[in-house]
């Protein structure tokens, strides 16, 4: 079926108090597992790959792979570019068929972030895609299995209101104590800050670094305006666990990769249902 996770669908989830699960993808087995999980639950899903995943698999091959898998999925499936600050990369992914992109200007001065985000918004909207952006950097390492709890900036609600108004962005990633990876020290989400952000912006909010967060905290964040939740580390750990558990003396890859794919599917299905409130 055609790729489909337009911004109207994201806003519908936001309005209904639901969130769509967005999974970071590095290879075929992860992409297949997520789509199988989406089909088994009957819920929409997003496959996402960004610069770090491209460094592993190559931008062209990985982008083509996840677009192809998403098109074969029997439920609405979006393809998202995660954490990019490269306009050429964004253009290439839009041409490849991505349905949404994230411009990450969090390390830039505010005025530069606003200017470039607005440029990306114009580019993506012309291609029929929607845009997520980031205002304050999120601590941790999105590609590491663990992360020390690093001190990071938190999203300022007042600045967030200005940023959304001046850029025309469709979704905003928030920094409310969340951390990429699974930190060695448990994190506490600043839900009061999240509520203040929601009161000042009129777009869906995005939570990065959801791996390892208690379910109750995630559900509370959804109720306060989070409509897209990124998951990375828990999928990688499921894949690794499936490979380690595959006890076989056969050398065919399906005997090794099949159980790993099944493990990823199980974790993904649980996240999808939790975020959908079912």
| Mean pLDDT value of segment 76-104 | 96
How many whole angstroms from its chain centre is CA 157? Answer: 22
What pLDDT does 138 receive?
53
| pLDDT per residue as tens digits for the range 101-118 | 999 999 999 999 999 999
pLDDT reading at 277 higher than 70 = yes
pLDDT reading at 239 higher than 50 = yes
Q: DSSP 3-state assignment of 172?
A: strand
| Mean pLDDT value of segment 86-95 | 97
Q: Is 82 a catalytic residue?
A: yes
The DSSP H or E segment spanning 153 is none
Confidence of residue 141 (pLDDT cuts 50, 70, 90): very low
As a whole number of angstroms, the distance between CA 147 and CA 144 comes to 7
| Mean pLDDT value of segment 107-130 | 97
The token duo for 125 is: 């909207």
pLDDT reading at 136 higher than 90 = no
Q: Could you tell me the pTM of the whole model? A: 0.92
Pick the catalytic residue from 76, 82, 156, 170: 82
What pLDDT does 185 receive?
63
DSSP label at residue 135: S
| Mean pLDDT value of segment 67-71 | 96
Of all residues in the chain, the percent with pLDDT exceeding 70 is 90
What pLDDT does 140 receive?
43
Question: Domains of the chain by range and CATH?
Answer: 7-276 (3.20.20.70)
Q: How many contiguous H segments (helices) and E segments (strands) does the chain have?
A: 11, 12
As a whole number of angstroms, the distance between CA 269 and CA 124 comes to 30
pLDDT reading at 1 higher than 90 = no
| pLDDT per residue as tens digits for the range 3-29 | 677 889 999 999 999 999 999 999 999
As a whole number of angstroms, the distance between CA 274 and CA 278 comes to 6
What pLDDT does 153 receive?
80
What pLDDT does 148 receive?
45
The DSSP H or E segment spanning 232 is none
pLDDT reading at 156 higher than 90 = yes
| pLDDT per residue as tens digits for the range 162-221 | 999 999 999 999 999 887 555 556 678 999 999 999 999 999 999 998 877 889 999 999
Q: How far is CA 23 from CA 125, 164, 249, in A?
A: 23, 24, 31
The answer to whether residues 134 and 105 touch, using CB atoms and an 8 Å cutoff, is yes
Q: How far is CA 64 from CA 5, 98, 99, 105, 193, in A?
A: 17, 10, 13, 26, 38
The token duo for 120 is: 């990306």
Query: What is the rounded radius of gyration, in angstroms, for the C-alpha atoms of the chain?
Result: 18
Give the sign of the dihedral formed by CA 273, CA 274, CA 276, CA 277. Answer: positive
pLDDT reading at 2 higher than 80 = no
What DSSP line would sit under 170-190, residue for residue? Answer: SEEEE-SS-EESEESS-----
């Amino acid at each position: 079926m055609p790729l489909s996770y337009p911004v109207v669908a994201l806003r519908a989830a936001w309005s209904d108090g639901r969130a769509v699960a967005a999974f970071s993808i590095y290879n075929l087995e992860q992409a297949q597992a997520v789509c199988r999980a989406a089909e088994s639950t009957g819920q929409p899903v997003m496959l996402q790959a960004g610069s770090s995943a491209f460094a592993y698999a190559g931008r062209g091959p990985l982008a083509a792979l996840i677009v192809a898998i998403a098109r074969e999925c029997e439920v609405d499936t979006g393809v998202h570019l995660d954490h990019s600050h490269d306009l050429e990369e964004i253009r290439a992914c839009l041409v490849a068929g991505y349905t949404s992109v994230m411009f990450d200007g969090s390390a830039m001065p505010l005025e530069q972030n606003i200017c470039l985000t607005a440029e990306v918004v114009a580019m993506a909207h012309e291609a029929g895609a929607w845009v997520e952006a980031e205002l304050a950097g999120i601590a941790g390492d999105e590609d590491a299995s663990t992360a020390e709890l690093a001190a990071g900036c938190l999203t300022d609600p007042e600045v967030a209101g200005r940023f959304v108004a001046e850029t025309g962005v469709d979704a905003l990633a928030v920094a409310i104590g969340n951390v990429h990876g699974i930190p060695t020290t448990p994190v506490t989400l600043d839900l009061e800050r999240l509520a203040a952000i929601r009161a000042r912006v009129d777009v869906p909010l995005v939570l990065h670094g959801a791996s390892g967060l208690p379910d109750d905290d995630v559900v509370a964040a959804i109720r306060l305006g989070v409509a897209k939740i990124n998951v990375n580390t828990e999928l990688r750990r499921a894949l690794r666990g499936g490979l380690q558990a595959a006890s076989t003396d056969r050398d065919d890859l399906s005997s090794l990769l099949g159980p790993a794919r099944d493990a990823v599917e199980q974790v993904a299905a649980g996240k999808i249902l939790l975020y959908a409130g079912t």
